[in-house]
Structure 1
Amino acid sequence: MLQPIPVPENVLEYVLSREAARLLDDADVRITDFTRRQRPAIENFVVCDFRLVDAALAWIDDADLACGQRFCEWGSGFGVVAMLAGLRGWESCGIEVEPALIDQAHDLAEDHDIDVQFAAGSFIPEGADELLDFVEDISHIDTDCPSGYDELDTDIADFDLFFAFPWPGEHGFWEAVFERYAATNALLLTYHGIESIKLQRKVS
């Protein structure tokens, strides 16, 4: 079962660190340049409000909501959220199916000296195929790519906090994967559009 945790209305009062601000400025330039140059375009690559997500991470830390410090970004793209978590001291990683985005994430993390891992593959763990039968529209999710957890030498149940930006209509599937395979008391933070973010805990 998933238990909602209300996000404070004033969460954006948390201030970006100087390192995070530099990261976001650089990421914005690189993402803009990448989307202009990349052909064919990666249709599934859409960025969220990184400032809002960083504020949510700060609040989660401040309120001591997580049971540990292992973080995973599902569909990590340029890996910005995973890097923001890394800057906050989380043992952080990202899973992404597009090799070109993995390359960009590695370069960005290296240039900002942020300790974060990235794996090529799917956020869906092995054996989760039965969940696909309960979802009407998962056209933006690659269900054929091998799971990324092996490359990270870890298991989905090892993480304490996940972040995801599902497409409209696909939130139920991402939540089903989390509810089925994440550890009890793990947290799922999801982005739902402009100034909208949701936090849920898996409870027994």
Structure 2
Amino acid sequence: MLESIVVPANLLTFPLSPDAVRLLRDADERISDFTRRQRPWVENFAVCDFRLVDAALAWIGEADLARGERFCEWGSGFGVVAMLAALRGWDSFGIEVEPVLVDEAQSLAEDHEIEVIFAAGSFIPEGGEDSLQIVDDISHIDMDCPSGYDDLDADVADFDLFFAFPWPGEHAYWEAVFDRYAAEGALLLTYHGIESREVDSLKLQRKVGQIDRIDETN
């Protein structure tokens, strides 16, 4: 069961660190170059508002919302959010289905000396495909790629905070995977910028048990 946590509207009061400024400047250049030269085009590749997500990570840390310090970016692309999380002190990982993007992420992390572990594979655990029945259209989710968790030597339940940028209409599937496999108390931060105003573009949810929900209403 998922419980929503209100994300404050003034997130951008949290400043970027100097290391994050350098990372975002370099990432922007590399992503622009990648989109110009990459053929065939990686169809599912899109970038979120990294500045806003970094501020959300800062807020989550300051508010002590997470139960631990392990972070995983689902569909990590160039790995920028995973790197921002590492700069914020998280033990950070990323899973990406496109090997070419994993290579780009590893190169960026190495050049900025940021410790993040990336894996090529699916964010869906083995056997998680049966959650498909809850969503009619999941055209942007690769269901044939092996799970990436073996390469991370981890399970979904080992992480305390996840970040994802689902395509419009596919959020329910990502949330279902999180609800089924994440540990109780884990957090899911999702970006909705394609379909929302900036103030509403981030959503934070916590996995809670039925007993927790009952206690809070008493």
**Partner in structure 1 of residue 216 of structure 2:** none
Task: Identify the match of residue 206 of structure 2 among 194, 201, 204.
Answer: 201
Task: Report the Cα offset of residue 133 of structure 1.
Answer: 1.6
Q: CA deviation at 1:33?
A: 0.2
Aligned twin of 1:138: 138
**Deviation at 1:154?**
0.5
**Secondary structure of 2:205's match?**
strand
Shift of 1:181: 0.4
Q: CA deviation at 1:182?
A: 0.2
Partner residue, 2:214: none
Q: Which residue of 2 aligns with 1:127?
A: 127
Paired with 2:62 and 2:89, the residues of 1 have a C-alpha distance of 13
TM-score, normalising length: structure 2: 0.93
Cα distance in structure 1, aligned partners of 2:103 and 2:127: 28
Runs of 4+ in 1 over 6 A off after TM superposition: none
Cα deviation for residue 61 of structure 1 reads: 0.2
Deviation at 1:113, TM superposition (A): 0.2
Bigger-Rg structure (1/2): 2
Q: 130-139 or 114-123: which moved more? A: 130-139
Q: Does 1:118 align with 2:118?
A: yes
Count of matched residue pairs: 204
Counterpart of 1:49 in structure 2 is: 49
Residues 83-113 of structure 1, C-alpha deviations (whole Å, 9 max, x = no match): 0000111100000010110000000000000
Q: Which residue of 2 aligns with 1:169?
A: 169
Q: Distance in 2 between matches of 1:27 and 1:129?
A: 32
**Aligned twin of 1:151:** 151
Matches of 1:128 and 1:76, distance apart in 2: 19
Check if 1:64 corresponds to 2:64: yes
Q: Secondary structure at the match of 1:110?
A: helix
Q: Share of identical aligned residues, percent?
A: 75
Cα distance in 1 for partners of 2:128, 2:154 equals: 16
Amino acid at match of 1:74: W
Q: Structure 1: 5+ residue runs without aligned partners? A: none
**Aligned-partner residue type, residue 45 of structure 1:** F
- Partner deviation per Cα, 1:169-192 (whole Å, 9 max, x = no partner): 000000000000000000000000
Q: Which residue of 1 aligns with 2:180?
A: 180
Which secondary structure does the structure 1 equivalent of 2:95 belong to?
strand
Matched residue SS, 2:146 = coil
Aligned-pair Cα RMSD in Å: 0.6
TM-score, scaled relative to structure 1:
0.99
Shift of 1:35: 0.5
CA deviation after TM superposition for structure 1 residue 135, in Å: 1.0
- Tell me how far apart the structure 2 counterparts of residues 6 and 133 of structure 1 sit (CA, whole Å): 29
For 1:21-60, what per-residue CA distance to the aligned partner results, in whole angstroms no more than 9, with x for missing partners? 1000000000000000000001100000000000000000
SS across alignment from 1:46: coil
